[in-house]
């Protein structure tokens, strides 16, 4: 019974370690090989245990499990070699790698098939309290292959350790040391007992099983590497797993004890050992498979029964609504961080928002006492890291903890409890760093998470830039208003004096213009009068003199026109302008003005129609000035209209008033600006 419990515990621990190593990062080749090797190791241990348990499987099945023992053993050492190879920093070129793995795969599975179906590996199998056998003709080839893959794996770990030491990766060096010595002790023990002692010397069943149980050393040291140095970065998941496993084992043992005692007292019947074994096995399977099955069912029925899994499209729509409805950067970032933390179940979240001067604002949100919050000092370390270089691999946007190669950067992420960082850039300059902590479940970010976060990061980068620009505009507007208010006050204080000075200067200017024009017109009038008196005698004057008189007359008329223009300007500025008026038909005038700019309307596809234009509407006005006003109104109606819009010109008579209304289908002037028209 003790050996059964010990075997079941060993198998369960190794299997759980393999499963959680794979779940921690399914994309890692190293994790996949480790999980695969653990699977074959579990099979090897079970076959080795059952080959000496005729009470459980019967005597006829013992040779089958012995052959299966040797087949699984050689496959395990092959997967161990593959794991060690993927753990190395420097790998073989593609062609050589394919050749090596193809040859090893063929030779491994050939020997495994020979072990099961022929007597070339093991032969003369007997059982006398312990299963006994002799080596077949290919025994030494089998042993050489197993030892070769084991030693090659150790050599790969040694080279990996040397390369890690050269690049300064201390954590990888420590991890490699632990795995190296763990396998050297455990694997060497198993190879020595199963390949050397058991085929050639009579040994007890306890010594035989010690070869397999020695692999618990490997499991124990691997667990230590996980807990101490974050081997495979699954520390939290493994701690949770061992807690679950320990509790499950305690409950299973309690159930078995109660079942045994209950059957003895109630029915006066002692349970058979095989019945107890099957009960323990089934209970263990139910206990260990419940949580994965629950997660699988939850994922399938998440839209009906469970809310632990999020829908990317729905979450993105919710976050987009937050970004669209909040322009205040503090309110928006706080709402986004709270939503992300509650949905993704992360230990922390933050934004580092960069300003134009290169400094940054840190936006965080803590909702639970055990949440990790990135402080200013930690943010400054991240800022310094990105100023030196990006920790991401070339061509990658998202920087995950498990993807970081450099030891110092990995240690910084681990210290600050950072799971990933996504930068957003503008013109090759970082504008925002989006930072998320580890998942509370201990899992790495899935492909669904990364795809969603990549899309969200782009959107939130733009939203934060807009909110930041709005804040800058608001602050600048406040500064301008203060300056305007100060300047207005200064102007108001000096307004009275300046106005007096301006009015005095205006009066002096007007007086000067009127006096000057009067003084100039008097002698000019005399000149023109003398020229008129001589005009009757010009026919008798010589031609050169006649030409000179014409030149004087032309110059005098030009000077007289200049004096009239100067007087007109003075009258305009003194609000004494007099414009000539005459009777004007508004319909004709508007149509003439419209014809001048009709081409602009045709280009934009705008139609112009008239209402009540079949009869004349006459007014007293200055034609040129009125036509200028009408042209400006129609031009604005075309310019600020919608494409393919309409302009309607309406004439209305109301007693002594004629109204000409020009309306369009444009957006119009906002009501708050009407007082400025």
Q: Distance (Å, rounded) from C-alpha 445 to C-alpha 398?
A: 11
Per-residue 3-state assignment (H helix, E strand, C coil) for 4-43:
HHHHHHHHHHHHHHHHHHHHHCCCCHHHHHHHHHHHHHHH
Phi and psi at 418, nearest 5°, equal -100, 125
Which candidate, 153, 161, 176, 167, places its Cα nearest to that of 231?
176
Domain ranges of the chain: 2-233, 235-309, 321-473, 490-573, 582-676
Q: Distance (Å, rounded) from C-alpha 590 to C-alpha 598?
A: 12
Instruction: Check if 2-233 and 321-473 are the same fold.
Output: no
User: In angstroms, what is the C-alpha Rg of the chain?
Assistant: 48
Q: Distance (Å, rounded) from C-alpha 63 to C-alpha 47?
A: 10
Residue 367 has pLDDT above 70, yes or no: no
Residue 455 has pLDDT above 80, yes or no: yes
Phi and psi at 399, nearest 5°, equal -110, 105
Which residue matches tokens 């939130």? 460
Query: Angle at which helices 2-24 and 235-267 pack, to 10 degrees?
Result: 150
Percentage of the chain lying above the pLDDT 70 cut: 71
Provide the mean pLDDT of the chain: 76
pLDDT per residue over 38-52, tens digit each?
888 888 888 888 887
Which candidate, 444, 229, 455, places its Cα nearest to that of 346?
444
Q: Distance (Å, rounded) from C-alpha 457 to C-alpha 396?
A: 14
Tokens for 167, please give them: 């690049």
- Mean pLDDT over residues 307-319, rounded? 76
Helix (H, G, I), strand (E, B) or coil at 358: coil
pLDDT band of residue 132 (cuts 50, 70, 90) is confident
The per-residue pLDDT for 666 is 86
- Mean pLDDT over residues 210-238, rounded? 56
pLDDT per residue over 384-423, tens digit each?
888 888 887 777 788 888 778 787 888 888 888 888 899 9
The per-residue pLDDT for 258 is 67
Fold that domain 582-676 belongs to in CATH = Heat Shock Protein 90 (3.30.565)
pLDDT per residue over 623-677, tens digit each?
887 887 888 888 888 888 888 899 999 999 887 788 999 999 988 877 777 776 6
The per-residue pLDDT for 24 is 65
pTM: 0.44
pLDDT band of residue 305 (cuts 50, 70, 90) is very low
The per-residue pLDDT for 224 is 59
Which candidate, 85, 71, 74, places its Cα nearest to that of 33?
85
Return the number of other C-beta atoms located less than 10 Å from residue 650's C-beta: 14
Which CATH architecture describes the domain 2-233? Answer: Up-down Bundle (1.20)
- Mean pLDDT over residues 249-270, rounded? 63
Which candidate, 373, 522, 346, 517, places its Cα nearest to that of 440?
346
The per-residue pLDDT for 646 is 93
Q: What stretches of 236-359 adopt beta strand conformation (E)? A: 349-354
Phi and psi at 351, nearest 5°, equal -120, 135
Residue 307 has pLDDT above 50, yes or no: no
Higher-pLDDT residue of 306, 238: 238
Distances (CA, A) of 422 to 8, 409, 460, 557: 44, 15, 11, 82
Residues 441, 345 contacting (CB under 8 angstroms): yes
Percentage of the chain lying above the pLDDT 90 cut: 4
Q: Distance (Å, rounded) from C-alpha 544 to C-alpha 535?
A: 15
**CATH top-level class for 321-473?**
alpha beta
The per-residue pLDDT for 110 is 92
Residues 6+ positions from 53 with CB-CB distance below 8 Å: none
Helix (H, G, I), strand (E, B) or coil at 325: helix
pLDDT per residue over 483-542, tens digit each?
888 888 887 777 777 777 777 787 777 777 777 776 676 676 667 667 777 776 766 777
Residues 6+ positions from 176 with CB-CB distance below 8 Å: 87, 157, 160, 161, 164
The per-residue pLDDT for 610 is 92
């Amino acid at each position: 019974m003790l050996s059964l419990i010990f075997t079941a515990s060993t198998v369960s621990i190794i299997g759980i370690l393999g499963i959680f190593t794979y779940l921690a990062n399914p994309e890692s080749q190293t994790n996949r090989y480790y999980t695969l090797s653990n699977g074959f190791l579990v099979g090897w241990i079970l076959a080795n245990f059952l080959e000496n348990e005729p009470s459980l499987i019967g005597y006829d099945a013992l040779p089958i499990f012995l052959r299966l023992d040797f087949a699984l053993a050689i496959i395990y050492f092959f997967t161990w070699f593959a794991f060690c190879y993927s753990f190395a920093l420097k790998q073989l070129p593609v062609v050589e790698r394919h050749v090596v793995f193809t040859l090893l795969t063929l030779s491994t599975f050939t020997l495994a098939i020979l072990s099961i179906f022929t007597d070339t590996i093991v032969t003369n199998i007997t059982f006398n309290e312990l299963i006994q056998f002799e080596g077949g003709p290919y025994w030494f080839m089998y042993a050489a292959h197993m030892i070769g893959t084991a030693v090659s794996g150790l050599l790969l770990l040694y080279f990996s350790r040397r390369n890690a030491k050269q690049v300064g990766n201390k954590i990888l060096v420590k991890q490699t040391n632990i795995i190296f010595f763990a396998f050297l002790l455990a694997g060497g023990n198993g190879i020595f007992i199963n390949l050397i002692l058991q085929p050639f010397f009579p040994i007890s069943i306890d010594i035989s099983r010690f070869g397999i149980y020695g692999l618990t050393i490997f499991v124990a040291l691997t667990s230590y590497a996980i807990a101490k140095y974050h081997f495979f970065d699954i520390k939290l998941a493994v701690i949770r797993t061992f807690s679950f496993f320990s509790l499950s084992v305690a409950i299973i043992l309690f159930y078995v004890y109660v079942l045994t005692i209950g059957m003895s007292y109630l029915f006066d019947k002692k349970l058979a050992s095989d019945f107890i074994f099957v009960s323990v096995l089934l209970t263990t399977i139910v206990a260990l498979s419940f949580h994965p099955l629950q997660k699988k069912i939850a994922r399938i029925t998440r839209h009906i029964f469970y809310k632990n899994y999020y829908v990317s499209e729905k979450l993105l729509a919710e976050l987009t609504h937050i970004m669209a409805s909040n322009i205040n950067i503090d309110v928006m970032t706080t709402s986004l961080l709270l939503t992300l933390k509650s949905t993704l179940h992360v230990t922390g979240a933050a934004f580092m928002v960069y300003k134009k001067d290169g400094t940054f604002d840190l936006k965080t949100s803590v909702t639970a006492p055990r949440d990790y919050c990135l402080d200013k000092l930690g943010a400054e370390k991240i800022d310094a890291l990105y100023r030196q270089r990006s920790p991401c691999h070339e061509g990658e946007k998202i920087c995950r903890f498990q993807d970081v190669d450099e030891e110092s950067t990995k240690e910084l992420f681990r210290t600050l409890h950072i799971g990933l960082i996504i930068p957003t850039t503008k013109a090759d300059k970082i504008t925002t760093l989006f930072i998320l902590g580890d998942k509370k479940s201990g899992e790495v970010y899935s492909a669904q998470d990364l795809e969603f976060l990549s899309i969200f990061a782009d959107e939130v980068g733009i939203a934060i830039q807009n909110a930041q620009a709005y804040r800058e505009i608001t602050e600048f507007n406040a500064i301008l208003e203060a300056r305007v208010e100060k300047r207005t006050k200064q102007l108001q204080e000096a307004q009275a004096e300046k106005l007096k000075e301006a009015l005095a200067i205006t009066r002096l200017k007007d007086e000067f213009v009127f006096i000057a024009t009067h003084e100039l017109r008097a002698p000019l009038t005399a000149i023109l009068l003398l020229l008129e008196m001589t005009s009757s005698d010009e026919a008798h004057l010589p031609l050169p003199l006649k030409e000179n008189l014409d030149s004087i007359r032309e110059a005098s008329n030009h000077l007289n026109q200049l004096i009239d223009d100067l007087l007109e300007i003075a009258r305009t500025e003194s609000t004494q302008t007099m414009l000539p008026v005459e009777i004007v038909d508004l319909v004709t005038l508007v149509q003439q003005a419209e014809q001048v700019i009709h081409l602009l309307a045709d280009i934009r596809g705008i139609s112009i129609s008239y209402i009540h234009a079949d009869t004349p509407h006459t007014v007293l006005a200055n034609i040129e000035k009125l036509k200028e006003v009408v042209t400006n109104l129609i031009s604005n109606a075309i310019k600020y209209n919608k494409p393919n819009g309409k302009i309607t010109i309406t004439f209305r008579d109301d007693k002594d008033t004629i109204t000409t209304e020009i309306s369009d289908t444009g957006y119009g002037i906002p009501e708050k600006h009407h007082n400025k028209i």
